Amino acid sequence: MTLLARPTLAPGEAVWVRVALAAVALLSLSTLPSAPSLDFPVGLAAAVDLGVIGSAAGRVVIVVGALLGALLLVRGGGRRRLAAAVGLLLLPQLLAATAWNSQGFAHHGHQAVTLALAGACIAVLIDDVGDESSLLFGAQLLVASCYLGAGVAKMVEGAGFAFVTDAPLLAVEVVKTARQHQADHALAMDDVDRAHAVATWILAHPHVARAAAAGTILLEVSVWLGVGSFGRGALIGVLVVAMHRAILAVMGLSFPLWELLVIACFVRPLAAIGALRARERRLGA
């Protein structure tokens, strides 16, 4: 079993990799409105004044730069062109997301996109091949790193397995997210009442909550096993998307950027279609 190897692309998947990375980056940017204040600067914003990002002119530069990067990436090319295109896409996304995260609240989906683009950019520069498989390899490594980080945090900050043993207490998070959603739009209390019922059920079935929590940690620290292998990657990718969907159903928390990254980098629909066609050919022969 080869681990952490560069993936082999299916026919036509090179275009998919380029389009998918460009689409995820643009989607991330489209959900990043101008930050009105940078009162809690993080990352680059702690060293450089990114206030200009919030101005109308700054926004135009960000959008034009990202669109240009996306177009160049979709067009494709050799190692240097791919690296330049991903770099051009990465820079505006990094600046806009850094500014957004400097308002006192973090959004980790944008962080995963930034790291995936950075991984793709570096990989295509230093990898032997320097094509779309290198882009995918770099993105896979960094997406896996993000999930590993989330799993490690649960073990380190929970001082062992408190995340698992105390998992029934996540019931309060169910009510909290429902209450926040209700507050967002001053809605009726129907969803909050439903959340209270779900929370009561979770507290009455602590072992179910603990099993789900244990499965979550196990999956998060296992994503790296899917790097380089279509079969393992697709299996882990589908499980991760199912995990996010389950969290959405129970807690009302959505993870669109994470899901898209996992689908683009691990589930790889074109590779799945290619594998199915190859199987049909083998059976037909």
Partner 1 sequence: MRARPRVALVVAVFAVVGPVVIGRIVGEQYPFSPLSMYAVPGPRRQVVLLVDGEARPLPIVALTGVSAARLEKRLRREIQREPVGAVARTLAFLSSSAQRAGTPLPVGARLTLIELVVADGGVSERPAILEDR
CB of 20 to partner 1, least distance (A): 19
Report the nearest approach of partner 1 to the CB of residue 173 (Å): 6
Question: Smallest gap, in angstroms, from Cβ of residue 232 to partner 1?
Answer: 15
* For partner 1, the closer CB: 81 or 176: 176
Closest distance to partner 1 from the beta carbon of 279 (Å): 29
For residue 227, the 8-state DSSP code is T
Read off the tokens for 240: 């991760």
The smaller minimum CB distance to partner 1, of residues 218 and 278, is found at 218
Q: In angstroms, rounded to a whole number, what is the distance separating the alpha carbons of residues 6 and 20?
A: 18
Nearest to 32 by CA among 9, 69, 58: 58
CA 48/CA 55 separation, integer angstroms: 15
Query: Which of 169-202 are b and which e, b meaning 16 or more Cβ less than 10 Å from the residue's Cβ?
Result: ebbebbbebbeeebeeeeeeeeebeebbebbeeb
CB-nearer residue toward partner 1: 30 or 37: 37
CB closer to partner 1, 26 vs 113: 113
Nearest approach in angstroms of CB 93 to partner 1 is 10
User: What is the residue whose two structure tokens read 């160049």?
Assistant: 72
Confirm if 241 and 211 have CB atoms less than 8 A apart. no
Q: Which is nearer to partner 1, 192 or 273 (CB)?
A: 192
